[in-house]
Structure 1
């Protein structure tokens, strides 16, 4: 008999799939039907971004009706400012209205903000409802929709409230990128450049000299396929052994030390990837200052970012704000800075002793790098 001291140990296997699904809404494509377990006579909640509905709503509705499933469509206004608990409550109310059974998957069709919202709502609804993601933006295809994290912004902080609740299936269709403008393709390219600089020199080579064309063509063709697959490979390779982030030294946090604060302060001026790009540029300057990265490789990285149409500096990036941003990231990382920095292209080390004078010096170094003839694109 116990004497009033119990220890519970439990394990839960986590299995989810990320799958190429070209022409995902074509009537004869069974990928979504299998993922969402569509059975004649049932219904499903489908959450879509308003802009996505304008482009793809007819095809989505036809797909569900073609499988004799009733789609209950909730349309949400996109944008980082809408990433709130109020939006999560709207999804929960829609799930109630659709009379979803406990294991009926919710289907999310949209960009990273929308899939984050649906993921958080699904994690809370009945203490855990499955969901399926169909990302429609590049940042969704290579970053936001392939991991396990869900979140909303809270009290001016990026992704302050969230859970770990991966979708059972994420279906990737590069063809959906055709409706995006080049700015939003560039927004996703920031996350691809991140993986190239910190983990994959071969990916860097695939991008170099081709970034502008990849943006223009929306990653169409064989090179676009290789770029997307290598970026996802690298991301999942980093995430899988540390899905719950028990280890807080994370290479995929490259570009995400200063950017959360920069993004929230400049909202709505900068998109997520644009703030990440500014962070990548500054982090490369930090790496140059520490002798980890050559000025030439820093310039090559700046050229990639600029070729994608991304900013590499912003007027708010003064040492005071950046130091506050670092302090918040340090709290998020358990009290350690854990700043990922490139150690040459394709490799990563972590800095834990950055000082304000060094940060100030690196912001000045970035300006000097940007004045170099080789920094122009």
Structure 2
């Protein structure tokens, strides 16, 4: 829609100025697939995804693989080559799949992004070629960021390989790089062409990466789905013990809750100040940076959930019983509720973690907006955080971390 407006006369003086106001929307399709054995030669899904638009041509595809995934799946490159070899009419594998560092190293190193962009240019890939990222959330962020810059946006297919990537980081519409001492200081909104979750990758995760994504499940359940929260509490021990069936249920439900929010919130690109899916994240992002990213995102989010849930209880938004269930279930899942870093103080005696509130506000834009649970399964946004209550929460979490919270104790 275009509106043409001319400025009226002011004080009898005709102003030579007019404006054409533009309003338009852009449709994005964002399919998220679930499968097993993605590059098994008999599995048609990958080829079907690439051919989704029915363009009737041979598609050029450049593949990047997380180094940790390549180590755990030494036959993966051969499987990819074989898959493409069987489909020469529709798929062209550009060069050899590239291995890039996994974990936060990928998001901390500009050279990773620069190398990807240079490689795309050296292979003369066009804007309708495909970049495929196979790995954890950090690798998908780095590869996706590079793909969003070249030709102002190429077709990106994400193949998440961790729990956290399959249920959260890999299914969203953002990319990010760490810079200026802050998590995701740089990034872009770039919905992927498609996401393909292959459950077979989860079986080779170490315990830390297996459990990391459980925190994001608790995060979204606490503020959006009380029945899912109840399920998580009942299955916390099974999840810690690597029950594959339970984990697949968790991944699907968590991913769907994230996707539903992106689709229905009316703010997929986060132009507003509220960001409900970042419950527990203001302190988590700060904690990651303080640790030099030795604390993983899921572990930091678990601590952030614990801290903000304590705050919510003190504000009478959730009950003490709710808080105990949250903390007990996080611990039973194998997740932390404490790190010594959260009690570190500045020379002036203030908790260093509190700087995360200012960084969070800058990242959101506008006024500080922190999402808290308003009873389990619902949420509320607040625009002020009481420092005294946060400090009390830190002291209490330190005590509670000594062991499982007894339901008879008063927090």
TM-score (norm 2): 0.85
Q: Which of 167, 172, 182 is the aligned partner of 2:192?
A: 167
Q: Which of 99, 103, 106 is the aligned partner of 1:82?
A: 106
- Residues 176 and 184 of structure 2 are in contact (CA less than 8 Å); yes or no, is this contact kept in structure 1? yes
Distance 2:401 2:318 in 1: 16
Q: Which residue of 2 aligns with 1:154?
A: 179
Q: Which of 58, 63, 66 is the aligned partner of 1:49?
A: 66
> For residues 347-362 of structure 1, what are the structure 2 equivalents within 5 Å?
347-362=378-393
1:41, distance to aligned residue in structure 2 (A):
6.2
Change (3 A) 1:374 1:64: farther
Q: Deviations over 1:261-309 (max 9, x none)?
A: 1001102420111111110110111011111122222121112211222
1:375, distance to aligned residue in structure 2 (A):
10
The DSSP-based 3-state class of the residue aligned with 2:282 is coil
**5+ residue gaps in structure 1?**
none
Q: Which residue of 2 aligns with 1:63?
A: 83
> For residues 1-377 of structure 1, what are the structure 2 equivalents within 5 Å?
5-37=19-51, 43-54=60-71, 55=73, 56-68=76-88, 69-72=92-95, 73-83=97-107, 84-217=109-242, 220-221=244-245, 223-240=246-263, 241-318=266-343, 320-370=351-401, 372-374=405-407
Change (3 A) 1:333 1:41: closer
Q: Which protein shows a greater Rg? A: 2
Distance 2:121 2:387 in 1: 51
- Residues 50 and 75 of structure 1 are in contact (CA less than 8 Å); yes or no, is this contact kept in structure 2? yes
Worse-superposed segment, 205-214 or 86-95: 205-214
Distance 1:302 1:288 in 2: 12
1:122, distance to aligned residue in structure 2 (A):
1.1
**5+ residue gaps in structure 2?**
7-16, 344-349
Worse-superposed segment, 127-136 or 310-319: 310-319
TM-score (norm 1): 0.92
- Residues 254 and 341 of structure 1 are in contact (CA less than 8 Å); yes or no, is this contact kept in structure 2? yes
The DSSP-based 3-state class of the residue aligned with 1:267 is coil
1:167, distance to aligned residue in structure 2 (A):
0.7
- Residues 129 and 155 of structure 2 are in contact (CA less than 8 Å); yes or no, is this contact kept in structure 1? yes
1:244, distance to aligned residue in structure 2 (A):
0.7
Q: Deviations over 1:125-170 (max 9, x none)?
A: 1111111011011111001111100111112110011110011110
Q: Deviations over 1:200-220 (max 9, x none)?
A: 111112222322322433x52
